[in-house]
Each structure stands twice: as C-alpha cells, then as structure tokens.
Amino acid sequence: MLGYTCVGTNDLPKALTYYETLLADHNPNMVMEDPGRMRIYSNGQGGMLMVTKPADGGEATVGNGCMIAIPGGSREGVDALYKKAMDLGSADEGGPGERMPGFYGAYFRDLDGNKICAFHMG
C-alpha cells in the first residue's frame, strides 16, 4: 500500500549509519542515492525508506503526529530492535509492551527526533 516513507535529517552521514545499523537484521539494500543529499533503502518486501536532507535546503524538523513503523517479526524481535535503538542513542518514547490485544510495540525517536515504532501483530 505504501511505496516509501521519508525521514529528514540534518546530519546525513550520522543518520545513514544509524539506520543501516538499526535495520541491519532487515537486510536494507541501497536502491537509490543522490550522494550528500539522500539514500533510499529496500529489502525487496514492500515499502522503502528514504533518509534525506530537506529538498528546500531548510532544517529538518519532526512532524507532529508522523511516525514510521518497522515490523519486528515477533515480540522478541521488537525487544531486540528497541534495545538496538537505545544502544544507538535513540530517545525512549515507550518501551516494549502490549498496547492493545494483538499489538505489541515499542516507541523511540531517531537521532533527529523522528518517531519510530517497532511492532508485532498477532
């Protein structure tokens, strides 16, 4: 249903290292790049992730109410992704737990403040 989602950054090299490390278990492959401006990742299983400096040249800011969600594959996968995010310097937005019947999630913010949810349904 989604083609790709974008997260803005003010420090592209730092953000690329963050996402490549965070998503290493999801096999992120670079599928497109404009060096110094943006990079798009895909694992060939649906939506892609673009990490980019804002196109208008302004400062990247966090969208209120915006969030990306990354499937953990299992509750243990959610726990591991959350722990990795914390180890990478993410800000905690709510540790792993069942949020409603059938939905297990953990919330954190990347180094630029973009909100991320690691989740498992079922």
Asked if residue 116 is part of any domain, the answer here is yes
The pLDDT assigned to 97 comes to: 98
Asked if residue 59 is part of any domain, the answer here is no
Which residues form the domain of 31? 4-54+66-121
Asked if residue 32 is part of any domain, the answer here is yes
Asked if residue 41 is part of any domain, the answer here is yes
Angle between helices 12-22 and 75-87 (to 10 degrees): 150
Asked if residue 74 is part of any domain, the answer here is yes
Closest C-alpha among 92, 84, 95 to residue 115: 92
Collect the ranges in the chain with pLDDT lower than 70.
1
Domain count, the chain: 1
pTM score, whole prediction: 0.91
Asked if residue 13 is part of any domain, the answer here is yes
Residue 41 maps to which CATH number?
3.10.180.10
The pLDDT assigned to 46 comes to: 86
Measured between alpha carbons, how far is 56 from 48 in angstroms, rounded to an integer? 22
**Interacting residues of 99 by C-beta distance below 8 A, sequence separation 6+:** 105
